[in-house]
Amino acid sequence: MSFDERLVDAEVDSDEQAVEAALRPKQLGEFIGQPKVREQLDLVLRAARARGGTADHVLLSGAPGLGKTTLSMIIAAEMGAPIRITSGPAIQHAGDLAAILSSLQEGEVLFLDEIHRMSRPAEEMLYMAMEDFRVDVIVGKGPGATAIPLELPPFTLVGATTRAGLLPPPLRDRFGFTAHMEFYEPKELEQVVHRSAQLLEVRTDPEGAVEIAGRSRGTPRIANRLLRRVRDYAQVKADGVITREVAAAALEVYEVDGRGLDRLDRAVLGSLLKLFGGGPVGLSTLAVAVGEERETVEEVAEPFLVREGLLARTPRGRVATPAAWAHMGLTPPQQSSRSASGGPGQQGLFGA
């Protein structure tokens, strides 16, 4: 479960998806942030157009919500080509991939999201397809099985992954251009909020955009989701204009604090601080304490808390940092114990 799904406490419906699609930039010049990636990708696409051929295969890595899908659509638009969208989990057999590849048009862009989750047989078929634009389709079983070579039209594969380290080197090496998407700076997110507000026809003053950007966890997708929720609040409980005060009040309703922590983030920190004295504590124990799956804590809450300097991973378990105590308005147990009795506190219970 992702942060933005937890924010609205429901799956995004078709109307929300339509709004998200409308907010996506359509051309590379409209894309905000990622200046190095934009510059490098622009050179790749312009050179391909000048040659009159297809662009090299592109691998985009980075956290969810940073614009990988949007860039894939921009690549297709810049090349004047159609785009086919699928994902790694949907391709569990080599035949699934062969069916997709054999139906591609010349120059078409194939966007493969979560490419690291593709099955190994399909992955091995993709090697030849990317390099030689050919696949071998196996007909029959056992000793009588034969391989029929199938020529493919030139195409551009755009792979997206949140875990580039899981990609085998033979697959990674077949991409002509690789890029890592970085988290956005607050100033860049302010531009995202202003652009989206104009498209949504919502009046937003500069301070209101600053407030939303500061709570967006460095992620444009979250900035757009927060903007829509603040817009709802402004229309119902204010005059429709998003100011700093309106944004702050709206995000308090949706349990997003000043640093972008939501309910789960604060539950993890609260349990770590109040139940385990700041740690160290094992991930499974921490997940049980907050009533969530281990994977949810590890993949959804923990990366942001570590990046914010509120949580540290150690060989003995998860440990809260001094910044976590300050953010939650709590006093570390060793300090409170020393102030009360001059003793060493609870450090011996929970480790150094």
**Terminal C-alpha separation, the chain:** 32
Answer yes or no: is pLDDT of 3 > 80.
no
Mean pLDDT over all residues of the chain?
Answer: 84
- Per-residue DSSP letter, 105: P
* Residue 319, helix vs strand vs coil: strand
Tokens found for residue 227: 């903007």
Amino acid making up residue 56 = D
Q: What is the dihedral of CA 319, 322, 323, 329, to 10 degrees?
A: 100
Q: What integer pLDDT is reported at residue 140 of this predicted model?
A: 56
Confirm or deny that 23 is annotated as ligand binding: yes
User: What would the mean pLDDT of 26-39 be, rounded to a whole number?
Assistant: 91
Tokens found for residue 102: 């054999």
Q: What integer pLDDT is reported at residue 138 of this predicted model?
A: 67
User: What would the mean pLDDT of 242-264 be, rounded to a whole number?
Assistant: 89
CB count within 10 Å of CB 167 equals 20
Question: Could you give the domains of the chain?
Answer: 34-180 (3.40.50.300), 186-253 (1.10.8.60), 263-330 (1.10.10.10)
Catalytic residue ranges: 68-69, 113, 162, 221
Q: Which residue has the tokens 């114990």?
A: 337
Q: What integer pLDDT is reported at residue 123 of this predicted model?
A: 86
Confirm or deny that 231 is annotated as ligand binding: no
Confirm or deny that 183 is annotated as ligand binding: no
Answer yes or no: is pLDDT of 341 > 80.
no
Answer yes or no: is pLDDT of 294 > 90.
no
Q: What integer pLDDT is reported at residue 331 of this predicted model?
A: 84
CB count within 10 Å of CB 44 equals 18
User: What would the mean pLDDT of 186-211 be, rounded to a whole number?
Assistant: 91
